[in-house]
């Protein structure tokens, strides 16, 4: 079975600090896609970053970057220079060959002023 595990239910960091959210997944597929979605309080879930499994280079989007370790099936998200607006629930997700998304349980991140 394909699963996504986020081992940190909740985290808090001070504004401007760097924070890393962990994610591991399990699949027997070789070609797949990984995502981090963010859901701010009472707002829409939005895509933060995506990674294609066949690409070795880690994806980056401004202050957001990933550490993709395919052999270890690990896909962590690093947020640099964290801002108050980064406070949200973060979901790690895996897209299988049928384009279904499998989500982790989420990590609730609080950025403290």
Partner 1 sequence: EAGVTQFPSHSVIEKGQTVTLRCDPISGHDNLYWYRRVMGKEIKFLLHFVKESKQDESGMPNNRFLAERTGGTYSTLKVQPAELEDSGVYFCASSQDFGASRRGVTQYFGPGTRLLVL
**What is the nearest approach in angstroms of partner 1 to the Cβ of residue 63?**
20
**What is the nearest approach in angstroms of partner 1 to the Cβ of residue 67?**
20
Question: Rounded CA gap, 77 and 106, in Å?
Answer: 12
**What is the nearest approach in angstroms of partner 1 to the Cβ of residue 107?**
12
Tokens read off for 15: 């504004």
C-beta of 17 vs 26, nearer to partner 1: 26
**What is the nearest approach in angstroms of partner 1 to the Cβ of residue 100?**
5
Question: Rounded CA gap, 39 and 56, in Å?
Answer: 27
C-beta of 43 vs 71, nearer to partner 1: 43
CA angle 67, 4, 43 (to 5 degrees): 85
C-beta of 32 vs 75, nearer to partner 1: 32
C-beta of 4 vs 19, nearer to partner 1: 4
User: Three-state secondary structure along 49-62?
Assistant: EEEECCCCCCCEEC
Using CB under 8 A, list all residues that contact partner 1: 4, 31-33, 35, 37, 43-47, 50, 52, 91, 95, 97-106
> Which residues is 79 bridged to in the sheet?
19, 64
Tokens read off for 37: 């979605």
């Amino acid at each position: 079975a394909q699963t996504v595990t986020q081992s940190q239910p909740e985290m808090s960091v001070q504004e401007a600090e760097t924070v890393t959210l962990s994610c591991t997944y399990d699949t027997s597929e070789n070609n797949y896609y990984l995502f981090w979605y963010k859901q701010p309080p009472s707002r829409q879930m939005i895509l933060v970053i995506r990674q294609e499994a066949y690409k070795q280079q880690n994806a980056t989007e401004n202050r957001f970057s990933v550490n993709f370790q395919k052999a270890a099936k690990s896909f962590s998200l690093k947020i640099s220079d964290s801002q108050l607006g980064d406070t949200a629930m973060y979901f790690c997700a895996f897209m299988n060959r049928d384009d279904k998304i499998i989500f982790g349980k989420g990590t609730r991140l609080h950025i403290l002023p």
